[in-house]
Amino acid sequence: MSGTGIIQVYVFILAGFVGFLLISKVPPLLHTPLMAATNAISGISLVGSIVLAGGQYGRVATILGVVAVACAMTNVVGGFIITDRMLNMFKRGDKPTDKKEGSA
Amino acid sequence: MTAMTFLPLLQAAIDGAEHGGTQELVIQLTYLVASVLFILGLRSLTKPDQARRGMQLAALGMLLAIIGTMLQQEILTFTWILTGLVIGSIIGYPLGKFVPMTAMPQRIAFSHMFGALAATLVGIGEFYHMYQAGLPAPADSDVRFKMAALGFEVLFGALTVSGSFMAFGKLQEFITGRPVTYKGQNIVTAALFLVAVGAFVMIIVQPSNVWAFYTMVLVSFIIGFLFVLPIGGADMPVVVSLLNSYAGLAASATGFAIGNNVLIIAGALDGASGFILSLIMSKAMNRSFANVLFGAFGSGGGAASTRTSEGLTAKSITAEDAAVLLAYAGKVIVVPGYGMAVAQAQHQVRELAELIEKKGGEVKYAIHPVAGRMPGHMNVLLAEANVPYDRMYDMEEINDQFPECDVAVVIGANDVVNPAAKTDPGSPIYGMPILRVNEAKAVIVLKRSMNTGFAGIENDLFFDEKTSMLFGDAKASLSKLVSEVKSL
């Protein structure tokens, strides 16, 4: 394995660790928006797709690339819009209740 | 802990810059900022009042990553990229803007399919470029690591594409929601899995093996179908979460294959998220992962509880009487289930709750982690109907409050309130954490008929003497209750 490969594994493990710690704290209340959000973020495949579509690697690669860009972009646009739409619906009541803050 | 992640990242950014100069440094910095914004965005989801803002930052991160990628030197033409971006936006916009909240589970499953398809196609494109585009093939020893990454990418990717399609079909109900099983099912799946693993090893040993690569893609694609086929509708929360995780891992593997850190990071975050959600869901059903995936729960047969409903009669109640009970209740807890989603009765629920509150009562919502078809399904539906989120309580938060509750209203929920989970060791759901509705002073159950729930188990709660059944479509029953309470 090359040096870059090792750094990549580092990045993966640490990012996974950060993800694990963060997501564990997301209350069940927001689990559906969370799924929509990670879905939008998974549109990051765009980064790979764009290079494939615009790199002139031959016709087959370009076609695969364009389809991949379209798929990933669908998730980005649709995912962020729907997450925003959902989060916008979560409103606090006017009268304060005995619910404790934030924790789950 | 966040700082730890960024150190190697920054190092990678600087390494990259040494090869490609300023332009490369700018690109790597946009990726770095994007990664940070993604993490902040997910962190914001721990607080409902900051979540919206945080996710807007994450969207900004995505925009930066796209711009950064456009700066790459490998890109020679923009026509095709723009074509893809425009098509994606045209499909994505209505998927984000107009899909109703009730269709959210299938909407999410559907988009996992897109995400995984993108990753799979990039993987195939990379492979094609390396070995089938007529270029001189790289030395095998140089590409083994890359081939392993590509292998993971298309394995997870192809499986997620077909698996998500199946999940989508089951949730949208054009494929039966019942578990489909056949003899030797697990053996067939296991054999296919072995073939996929064999092909995976093959492309690492001999990277230019075109046959092995495409066999792997195809077999993995088939496994996805077979894997979701035997899983029933009510187990979909686990499956959808797991596919969420796989889609993330496929994106991460893409990052390994093309040497891109923002992909690795975003993919790892998604992977972790899906994994945690599926763990939470399995736990809430008191079942292991393996049991959910290979157990074909709810297929009927097998699960023979010692109890039957024979000799027991459920007491039914009219809307008028139920309305009186509710109108003069001090503390009311509403327990929504999948039945509320099916009847789309969330608006009537809120209307009824407001009336009860006007009469001086207090209404809370008790939400079981696996109520509905995806994690947090009930919360989103209630939020859509303008129920304030501080009235929605998780199972642990509210379970101790049932004894003080005057009336618990169960709307289209069954297994999650079945006391057999606590009292009957012979019950297939024994040990599953439930909402302790049976501890309330009175219970009204809104239900279509006396049919058993998804697990096919009788529910003692319905025969409890403090329980009254209000039969009929949840939406119609609730509308009736609303008008009755109004007229009191």
In chain B, domain spans = 1-98, 103-297, 319-487
Token reading at B471: 């039969």
Q: What is the mean pLDDT of residues B109-134?
A: 91
Residue the block writes with tokens 């599926």: B278
Instruction: Collect all residues of chain B within an 8 Å Cβ-Cβ radius of residue A35.
Output: 108, 240-241, 244, 273-274, 277, 374-376
The whole-number average pLDDT for the span B272-278 is 92
Helical H runs in B49-103?
A: 51-70, 79-97
In a domain, A71, yes or no: yes
Do A29 and B272 count as a contact with CB atoms less than 8 A apart? no
Whether the per-residue pLDDT at A77 is higher than 50: the answer is yes
Minimal Cα–Cα distance from B377 to chain A, Å? Answer: 6
Range of the domain at A48: 30-90
Residue A80: per-residue pLDDT = 96
Which chain A positions have a beta carbon within 8 Å of B248's beta carbon? Answer: 38, 42
Task: Scan residues 397-416 of B and list those with Cβ closer than 8 Å to A.
Answer: 397
Q: What is the mean pLDDT of chain B?
A: 86
Q: Which of B11, B124, B270 shows the shortest C-beta gap to A38?
A: B270
List the alpha helices (DSSP H) in B285-318: 289-294
Full-model pTM: 0.87
Query: In the structure, what pLDDT confidence band is assigned to residue B413 with cuts at 50, 70 and 90?
Result: confident
Please judge whether B383 and A81 are an interchain contact, meaning their C-beta atoms are less than 8 angstroms apart.
no
CA distances from B140 to A8, B44, B211 (A): 20, 45, 16
The two three-digit tokens of residue B360, written as one number: 């001086």
Number of domains in chain A: 1
Confidence of residue A55 (pLDDT cuts 50, 70, 90): confident
Q: How close B15 gets to chain A, by Cα (Å)?
A: 9
Q: Are strands B467-471 and B392-394 parallel, antiparallel or unpaired?
A: unpaired
CA distance B277 to chain A (A): 8
- Inter-chain contact B133–A57, Cβ cutoff 8 Å? yes
Question: Is it the case that residue B64 has pLDDT exceeding 90?
Answer: yes
Query: Of A8, A13, A19, which has the smallest distance from its Cβ to B256's Cβ?
Result: A8
CA A3 to chain B, closest CA, distance in angstroms equals: 10
CA B371, CA B453: separation in Å to the nearest integer? 12
Does residue B336 sit in helix, strand or coil?
strand
Residue B235: what pLDDT?
Answer: 82
Residue B71 touches partner A, C-beta closer than 8 Å? no
Question: Can you tell me the distance from the alpha carbon of B177 to that of B189, in angstroms, rounded to the nearest whole number?
Answer: 20
> For B151-180, how does the pLDDT look when each residue is reduced to its tens digit (9 = 90+)?
999 999 999 999 999 999 998 888 877 778
pLDDT of residue B5: 56
pLDDT at B454 over 70: no
From the list B235, B415, B424, B460, the catalytic residue is: B415
Please tell me whether residue B291 adopts helix, strand or coil conformation: helix
Mutate to test the interface with A, among B38, B283, B390 (most CBs of A within 10 A): B390
Question: Tens of pLDDT along A35-54?
Answer: 999 999 999 999 999 999 99
% chain B with pLDDT above 70:
90
Is the distance from CB of B221 to CB of B161 less than 8 angstroms?
A: yes
Q: How is residue B342 written in tokens?
A: 């099916």
C-alpha span between B425 and B162 (Å, rounded): 37
pLDDT of residue A104: 37
Longest CA–CA span in chain A (Å) reads: 63
**Any A CB within 8 A of B30 CB:** no
What's the whole-number mean pLDDT along residues B112-141? Answer: 88
Q: Are B374 and B302 in contact (CB under 8 A)?
A: no
What pLDDT is stored for residue A5 in this prediction?
83
CA–CA gap between residue B342 and residue B419 (Å, rounded) = 24
The token pair that represents B330 in the structure block: 């001090």
Please tell me the distance from the alpha carbon of residue B270 to that of residue A98, in angstroms, as a whole number. Answer: 34
Q: Which superfamily is assigned to B319-487 in CATH?
A: TPP-binding domain (3.40.50.1220)
Whether B49 sits among the annotated catalytic residues: the reply is no
Where residue B20 falls among pLDDT bands split at 50, 70, 90? Answer: low
Mean pLDDT (whole number) for B184-200:
90
Option in B55, B112, B268 nearest A80 (CB): B55
- Among A93-102, B6-15, B277-286, B389-398, the least confident range: A93-102
- How would you classify residue B134: left for phi > 0, otherwise alpha for psi between -120 and 50, otherwise beta? left
The DSSP line for A34-86 is HHHHHHHHGGGGHHHHHHHHHS---HHHHHHHHHHHHHHHHHHHHHHHHHHHH
What residues of chain A lie within 8 A of the CB of B1, using their CB? Answer: 17-18, 21
Q: What is the pLDDT of residue B423?
A: 85
CB contact under 8 A, A64 and B43: no
Nearest residue of A to residue B129, measured between CA atoms: A57
- Rounded to 10°, the helix B236-258/B261-284 angle is 160
Do B94 and B152 touch, CB atoms closer than 8 A? Answer: no
Say yes or no: B59 contacts chain A, CB-CB below 8 A: yes
Helix axes B79-97, B104-131, angle to 10 degrees: 160
Cβ(B278)–Cβ(B286) under 8 Å? no
Residues in chain A with CB shorter than 8 Å from the CB of B8 are 7, 10-11, 14
Residue B212: the pLDDT is 93
Give the pLDDT confidence score for residue A1 in this predicted structure.
54
Mean pLDDT value across residues B424-437: 85
Among A44, A58, A104, select the one facing B263 at the smallest CB separation. A44
CA B11 to chain centre: 35
Phi-psi group of A102: left, alpha or beta (phi > 0 → left; psi -120 to 50 → alpha; rest → beta) = left
Is any Cβ of chain A less than 8 angstroms from the Cβ of B141? no
Write phi, then psi, for B374 (nearest 5 degrees): -155, 160
What confidence category does residue B294 fall into, taking pLDDT thresholds of 50, 70 and 90?
Answer: low
What Å distances lie between residue B28 and A59, A81, B34, B64, B142, CA to CA? 28, 27, 10, 11, 24
Cβ partners under 8 Å of residue B399, min gap 6: B366, B435, B436
**Facing residue for B42 by CB, picked from A23, A55, A64:** A23
B39 token code pair: 């993490």
Question: Which of B42, B241, B244 lies at the smallest CB-CB distance from A22?
Answer: B42
- Are residues B391 and A24, on separate chains, in Cβ contact within 8 Å? no
Residue A39 forms part of a structural domain: yes
B215-219, B388-392, B466-470 — which is least confidently predicted? B466-470
Instruction: Indicate the burial class of A20 (C-beta count within 10 angstroms; 0-12, 13-18, 19 or more).
Output: middle
For residue B108, the distance in angstroms to the closest alpha carbon of chain A comes to 7
**What is the average per-residue pLDDT within B14-33?**
79
Q: Which residue from B1, B10, B67, B7 is spatially nearest to B39, judged by alpha carbons? A: B1
**Residue B311: pLDDT over 70:** no
- ipTM metric: 0.90
pLDDT tens digits, one per residue of B181-191: 787 888 888 89
User: What is chain A's mean pLDDT, rounded?
Assistant: 87
Cβ under 8 Å to B: A residues 45-84: 45-58, 60-62, 64-84
How many whole angstroms separate alpha carbon A13 and alpha carbon B271?
11
Residue B136, Ramachandran bin (φ over 0: left; ψ between -120 and 50: alpha; else beta): beta
Residue A20 placed within a domain = no
Under the banding of pLDDT at 50, 70 and 90, the label for residue B285 is: confident
Encoding tokens for residue A84? 């925003």
Give the β-pairing of B331-336 and B362-367.
Answer: parallel
Q: Would you say residue A66 lies in a domain?
A: yes
Answer yes or no: are the C-beta atoms of B278 and B241 closer than 8 Å.
yes
pLDDT band at residue B277 under the 50/70/90 scheme: very high
Res A41: pLDDT: 94
pLDDT at B363: 94
Chain B residue at shortest CA distance from A44: B263
pLDDT at position B300 over 50: no
Q: What is the pLDDT of residue B62?
A: 96
A102 band by pLDDT with thresholds 50, 70 and 90: very low
pLDDT of B1 strictly over 50: no
Asked if A32 is an interface residue toward chain B (Cβ–Cβ < 8 A), one would say: yes
Q: Is B398 helix (H, G, I), strand (E, B) or coil?
A: helix
Read off the pLDDT of each residue in B61-69 and give the average, rounded to a whole number: 95
Q: List Cβ neighbours of B430 (8 Å cut-off, separation of 6 or more).
A: B286, B420, B421, B422, B424
Q: How far apart are CA B227 and CA B479, in angstroms?
A: 41
What is the predicted pLDDT for the residue at B11? 63
* Structure confidence at residue B174 (pLDDT): 86
